[in-house]
A and B are shown apart, each in its own frame.
Chain A
Amino acid sequence: MAQPFVKKDDDRDDEDEYSPFMGIEKGAVLQEARVFNDPQLDAKRCSQVITKLLYLLNQGETFTKTEATGVFFAVTKLFQSRDTGLRRMVYLMIKEISPSADEVIIVTSSLMKDMNSRTDMYRANAIRVLCQITDGTLLTQIERYLKQAIVDKNPVVASAAIVSGIHLLQTAPEIVKRWSNEVQEAIQSRAALVQFHALALLHQIRQNDRLAVSKLVTSLTKGSIRSPLAQCLLIRYTSQVIRESVVNIQTGDRPFFDYIEGCLRHKTEMVIFEAARAITELSNVTARELTPAITVIQLFLSSSKPVLRFAAIRTLNKVAMTHPMAVTNCNIDMESLISDQNRSIATLAITTLLKTGNESSVDRLMKQITNFMSDIADEFKIVVVEAIRSLCLKFPLKYRSLMNFLSSILREEGGFEYKKAIVDAIVIIIRDIPDAKESGLLHLCEFIEDCEFTYLSTQILHFLGNEGPKTSDPSKYIRYIYNRVILENATIRASAVSTLAKFGAMVDSLKPRIFILLRRCLSDNDDEVRDRATLYFNYLEGDGPVVETEESVKDFLFGSLDIPLGNLETGLKNYIQDPSEEPFDVNSVPKEVKSQPPAEKKAPSRKPTTGLGTLPAGLTSSADAYENLLSSIQEFASFGKLFKSSVPVELTEEETEYAVNVVKHIFDHHVVFQYNCTNTIPEQVLENVTVIVDASEAEEFSEVASKPLRSLPYDTPGQTFVAFEKPQGVPVVGKFSNMLRFTVKEVDPSTGEAEDDGVEDEYQLEDFEVVAADYMLKVGVSNFRNAWESMGPDCERIDEYGLGPRESLAEAVNAVIQLLGMQPCEGTEVVPSNSRSHTCLLSGVYIGNVKVLVRLSLGIDGAKEVSMKLAVRSEDGNVSDAIHETVASG
């Protein structure tokens, strides 16, 4: 038999297409595995067979249960052999077939023997195998050995035990938690990787105990960690501690910040980058804190290693979303990255530049991008198109060059997703920038002249029908639309007919011509097109079976279906299954959307769904979740429409027994406080949890209802609610003090069952206030000047204020934005450093759905005294006054 596994000498002759596994077949290999049972084991032969089995598994071949069991039992025989190489393959094989619980018992004794072997390699591998296949009961038997192994002087053995501990923590946490002392000792190991593994395990053991994590960080940041990987871990843990701790108000310093900043000077790039990234991700990071991090990242931008350049530009890209000013120093380096070989890096560079660029650099950038677009893949192009869309909304005055760019790339080759991204971008720009409408619509019209995607054509025709008639010269679109009727497939023809009808209904002067065109469609060979044409023809003529008024024609053409499509579908299905003489009645379909249980908030999705149909879907989802939650509670159902929900306000210190935060829901007539409670004590379950609210410092509020929480088990968040009535539409403020009241019951940790008897207990929570900002919704406008002009000076109120000494202009601007709770527009919340004066534009919607715009002009003098001029325009003079009152009393 040929022995393809013998490692041949290098100068063996080169046959073509030679593979040692050519023609390999599962059945034959399983037959071969019989050699495992030979009384005289041939170690080399056995290794070869195992390699073949592993090869099959690696190629995705699966073994049936019987086959796997057979192989497993045969492999266990190989523990008899003393060949180290073979033993190594046996370990690998056992891990790959992961035997079932009743089979594991066969190998445990062999593995336990190896665990106590004098050969380090045996010990390390036996530990890893055993811990992977074992269950809890066996673990108690071997725990003693594992603890020893953690502090073994051989780093490979120690790492094997610690890493196994990390995996076991998921299944048997209470056992692994007992190893803390040994793990702590291992952190001091001289071996770099042992240190890394030990630190990871110790942190995971303590991660629910904030105080312990903080202590761990405190002791280790003093510098006993040498391994770069361990250092990266420590940076992550440190920034986590920073995130959870409070900033020192006097100095603005954060604890441990020095340590992370020190890591920027480490000799390993991995650690430097980890530290720089950690700084950029700190919440409310200041310009002073960012500068050193940005400086090291800037150096990485010109590295010869693509991985470094990528890491650096990706971080800057994220920073640019929140602190565009901080990144501008790197603009020159980033511009040279546009021509980077690695297209991912080039795309990130472009999109970052689009975020940091100012109005004057837009044209130059667009020129560079045009060259770049021709040689990248569609997926990168989509990213660029999305960046250009947001750039256009940021600098509306630049719409002309940006729109030209979009239309030129629209004419080029490209796949569906890419074309759709461009069309979406144009549509959104048309919606937000009125000046761009006419040229944008014409670009779209030209596009459908030669568009291969039915979906896009119909979407554009629909959009054209809604927007076209409102333009100054609707007649110029008719030609494009009617061309579709002549040239395209039935689906597009049908939607073109609908669009024509919309023009006919809206523009009287066009009506006679539309009639002629629609009449031609009456003989179309497709049913749908013909039916639509007939229907619209009769509607518009007004002599159909029912005489329609002008209003209802428009309603019919433009109104949207107010029934959830899912419900309609079920309704129709039921009707088909159970047909009756009566026609299907649309009104019988229920209109409520099936309420979904409020899901845990996930990380914000990466791709906001801004399509043609659903514009602001991404932003409103959490508000929708609250609204669904509240309307599903009977007591609160009558409160009407939810106006605003605040961000959660923490009511407890960190590291306490119970974590509680409150969300303030504002209704027209009421406020509802949603207390989110988490019990962090595993040995307890809380029942009948309520919050007793003392509103003596909030006189205008009176409590009307509360909803207690039945049970609050360990680590599962629950909510309790308290509702107050308040004067309608008035922005009353007040302070509330809170007391958590509950019945506490002990839980047996081994069974997880609660004892019958409980004790009444109370827990003091911190106070919170309902402030003026709670009555303001953050709603941006894309073009502040337009909005300001169109609001008019009727309800304008202007006044000047002295804000006293402030640390900086930026701080003063932020304070006012916080106070008012409004949305800064056009990036004006960013104050360039060292500037003496600044204008900030804010917009929002006040309770009662009153639009408010604010123009803040601030100046700072040598003594850091800040003065402010506040101009407010709104739809209601009282609201403008109220804003001034807020500022005056704030």
Chain B
Amino acid sequence: MATFLSREVCPTIKNILLLDSEGKRVAVKYYSDDWPTNSAKLAFEKSVFTKTQKTNARTEAEITMLENNIIVYRFVQDLHFFVTGGDDENELILATVLQGFFDAVTLILRNNVEQREALENLDLILLCLDEIVDGGMILETDGSIIAGKAATSSNMDDGASLSEQTISQALATAREHLTRSLLSYLNHLIYRWCFAAIF
């Protein structure tokens, strides 16, 4: 006799949201059917945003409950990161997913974590979301691996094979640096250098 649903036994992510400082979507991904329509989704985003707006989640991930869901979140500049799970989920697992997403985006945006930069690299951010969770199931939680998967496949140049080589090398170096010291200025210089070399 199946006394429980398989879903309840396995950690499940209901959605991942990246909103701007006015609560508008930058990139969102829903994995559960709890919000069937776009308006339901928008309403959820609005209430999450309003509820968390005044809290300080800039140095440390914060947490709250809404409509029987647990939401962990973190803010950087004008970007708001959210990860939602069911109310019987292990809070620390959700926090790990948030951390993975947050680190990956930081790496992709080269520390310049703000809305405009995010929109300009939207393709990479969407790829990130695709690599973190698949249909609610956690795929990967390590930010640098996620960013690596999204970035290796990014089309960062205009097809010249020589500079493609340079870029992937530079990216690899940069990733190493980033994982060692997440917010180092050095990595910034490498990027500058490599982009200067291309253009």
Which A residues have a C-beta under 8 Å from some C-beta of B? 4-5, 7-10, 18-21, 43-44, 47, 50-51, 54-55, 58-60, 62, 83-89, 92, 95, 121, 128, 132, 156, 159-160, 163-164, 166-167, 169, 193, 196-197, 200, 203-204, 207-208, 229, 232-233, 236-237, 240, 269-270, 273-274, 277, 304-308, 310-311, 314, 341-342, 344, 606, 659, 678, 680, 715, 717
Contacts and interface: CB of A to CB of B under 8 A. Distances in A.
A233 B9 contact: yes
Contacts of B55: 341-342
B126 A270 contact: no
Given A83-B159, A233-B9, A55 B122 contact: yes
Contacts of B123: 47, 50-51, 54, 89
A310 B63 contact: yes
Contacts of A314: 91
Contact of A44 (B11, B91, B155): B155
Interface string B138-163: 11110000000100111110110000
22 contacts: A9-B195, A9-B196, A43-B159, A51-B123, A55-B122, A58-B27, A58-B28, A83-B159, A85-B155, A87-B153, A88-B127, A89-B123, A92-B127, A167-B137, A203-B9, A207-B2, A237-B9, A269-B92, A306-B62, A307-B95, A311-B92, A715-B2
A203 to B, nearest CB: 7
Contacts of A207: 2, 6, 9
Interface string B37-80: 01001100000000000011000111111001000100000000
B90 A92 contact: no
B120 interface: yes
Interface residues of B, number: 62
Interface in B81-98: 90-96
B130 A7 contact: no
Given A232-B93, A233-B10, A193 B27 contact: no
B121 interface: yes
A140 B63 CA distance: 44
A167 B120 contact: no
Given A19-B116, A163-B135, 13 more contacts: A7-B120, A10-B110, A21-B122, A51-B126, A54-B123, A62-B38, A203-B9, A207-B2, A237-B9, A273-B90, A307-B94, A311-B92, A342-B64
Given A9-B195, A83-B159, A92-B126, A307 B61 contact: yes
A609 B164 CA distance: 64
Contact of B90 (A85, A88, A277): A277
Contacts of B96: 270
Contacts of A88: 127, 153-154
A160 B139 CA distance: 8
Contacts of B90: 232, 270, 273-274, 277, 311
User: Which 6 pairs across A and B sit closest by C-beta, in order of nearness?
Assistant: A85-B155, A60-B38, A311-B91, A88-B153, A270-B92, A51-B123
B119 A20 contact: yes
A163 B137 contact: yes
Nearest to B137: A163
A795 B116 CA distance: 81
A556 B91 CA distance: 56
A51 B154 CA distance: 12
A163 B112 CA distance: 33
A163 B134 contact: yes
B1 A240 contact: no
B185 to A, nearest CB: 12
Given A88-B153, A121-B153, A307 B192 contact: no
Nearest to A308: B92
A132 to B, nearest CB: 8
A717 B55 CA distance: 48
A10 B196 CA distance: 11
Contact of A273 (B11, B27, B92): B92
Contacts of B153: 84-85, 87-88, 121
Nearest to B130: A92
Given A60-B42, A277-B90, A10 B112 contact: yes
Candidate in B65, B112, B140, B153 with the most chain A CB atoms within 10 angstroms? B153
A659 B134 contact: no
B72 A307 contact: yes
Interface in B166-180: none
Contacts of A51: 122-123, 126
B138 to A, nearest CB: 7
A5 B2 contact: no
A305 B119 contact: no
B64 to A, nearest CB: 5
Contacts of A237: 9
Contact of B60 (A59, A62, A304): A304
B1 A47 contact: no
Contacts of B42: 60
Given A44-B158, A60-B38, A229 B138 contact: yes
A5 B120 contact: yes
A784 B93 CA distance: 45
B9 A121 contact: no
Given A58-B27, A229-B11, A270-B93, A47 B155 contact: yes
